[in-house]
Amino acid sequence: MSKPGIIQLSEFDITQKIIESLSNVCTRAVLFSIKYESKDATQISDELKISISTVYKTLSILEDLALVEIEHFVISSEGKKIKQYRSRIGKVEIILEDSEPSLSLYPNLSNVKSDS
């Protein structure tokens, strides 16, 4: 059974899923550890001192929500393709007014490459 894509989910469902994900401190730590440079899951695990399985699960959730992307692959010395993840967002605003939260996601401007 395949997971629903972003287009298949209603806007409310997506907002709720993103807010729920970002309410987790581990998810936020993973997301913002890859804001300025791409990293593989092992690098994130080592940096944040969390288990590799937690990192993979978190990255999978963030990738499903389109909050992270695979920037490129690196080939290890054993010939394995290793994903390098990068945050697609640089800032998040959650506003709680009335009965519905509103979510604003801002692009990760550190992804823009400069020629300087």
The answer to whether position 24 is within a domain reads: yes
77: domain CATH number is 1.10.10.10
3-class state of residue 60 by DSSP: helix
The answer to whether position 81 is within a domain reads: yes
Domain assignment of residue 88, given as a range: 6-111
Neighbours of 23 (CB within 10 A): 10
Q: What is the predicted pLDDT for the residue at 78?
A: 86
What pLDDT digit, counting tens, does each position of 78-107 carry? 888 999 999 999 988 888 887 778 888 899
Neighbours of 51 (CB within 10 A): 11
The answer to whether position 66 is within a domain reads: yes
The answer to whether position 65 is within a domain reads: yes
The answer to whether position 16 is within a domain reads: yes
What average pLDDT is seen over the chain?
A: 84
What is the pTM for the complete model shown? Answer: 0.77
Mean pLDDT to the nearest integer, 16-34:
92
Residue 108 CA from chain centroid, whole number: 11
The answer to whether position 116 is within a domain reads: no
Q: How many domains does the chain have?
A: 1
Measured between alpha carbons, how far is 1 from 12 in angstroms, rounded to an integer?
23
Measured between alpha carbons, how far is 69 from 87 in angstroms, rounded to an integer?
6
